[in-house]
Amino acid sequence: MRASRLVSLLLLLQTRSRMTAAELADELEVSVRTVHRDVDALSEAGVPIFAERGPLGGIRLVDGYRTRLTGMTPEEAQALFLSGLPGPAAELGLGTVMAAARLKVLAALPPELRARASRLVERFHLDATGWFQASEAVPHLATLSAAVWDAVKVEIEYERSDRSVTRLLDPLGLVIKGGVWYLVARAEDQIRTYRVSRVSSARRCDERFDRPEGFDLAAYWSESSAAYERDAPRVEVVVRVRPDRIGRLYGMIGERAAMAAERLDEPDPDGWARLRVRIEWPTEASALLLAVGADLEVIEPPEIRAGLVAIARRVVERYDAGPAA
Q: Measured between alpha carbons, how far is residue 222 from residues 176, 177, 216, 217 in Å?
A: 13, 11, 10, 9
Taking residues 26-36, what's their average pLDDT?
A: 90
DSSP state of 136: P
At 260, is the secondary structure helix, strand, or coil? coil
Give the residue with greater pLDDT, 50 vs 157. Answer: 157
Contacts of residue 80, Cβ cutoff 8 Å, sequence gap at least 6: 105, 117
Closest CA to 246 of 282, 293, 278: 293
Helix axes 2-16, 95-108, angle to 10 degrees: 50
pLDDT in tens, 129-183: 666 566 678 899 989 999 998 999 999 999 987 789 999 999 999 988 877 889 9
Instruction: Give yes or no for residue 108 having a pLDDT over 70.
Output: no
pTM above 0.95, yes or no: no
- Note whether 24 and 14 are within 8 A (CB): no
CA 106 to chain centre: 23
Pairing relationship of beta strands 273-280 and 262-264 according to DSSP bridges: antiparallel
Instruction: Give yes or no for residue 100 having a pLDDT over 90.
Output: no
Confidence (pLDDT) at 69: 46
Confidence (pLDDT) at 70: 46
Confidence (pLDDT) at 325: 65
Closest CA to 187 of 200, 171, 201: 171
Give the residue with greater pLDDT, 299 vs 44. Answer: 299
Domains defined for the chain, CATH in brackets? 2-61 (1.10.10.10), 74-123 (no CATH), 141-230 (2.30.30.30), 234-320 (3.30.70)
Distance CA(290)–CA(110), nearest Å, equals: 57
Sheet hosting strand 58-61, strand order edge to edge: 18-19, 58-61, 49-52
Closest CA to 148 of 183, 178, 119: 183
Distance CA(185)–CA(181), nearest Å, equals: 13
At 14, is the secondary structure helix, strand, or coil? helix
Burial of 275: CB neighbours in 10 Å, binned 0-12, 13-18, 19+: buried
Percent of the chain at pLDDT exceeding 90: 45
pLDDT in tens, 217-245: 999 999 998 888 888 889 999 999 999 99
Confidence (pLDDT) at 85: 54
Total number of residues shown for the chain: 325
Taking residues 185-210, what's their average pLDDT?
A: 95
Contacts of residue 104, Cβ cutoff 8 Å, sequence gap at least 6: 7, 11
- Counting Cα atoms < 13 Å in the Cβ hemisphere of 109 gives 25
Please provide the average confidence, as pLDDT, over all residues in the chain.
83
Confidence (pLDDT) at 47: 78
pLDDT in tens, 61-94: 887 666 554 454 555 555 555 555 556 655 666 5
Q: Is 175 left (phi over 0), alpha (psi -120 to 50) or beta?
A: beta
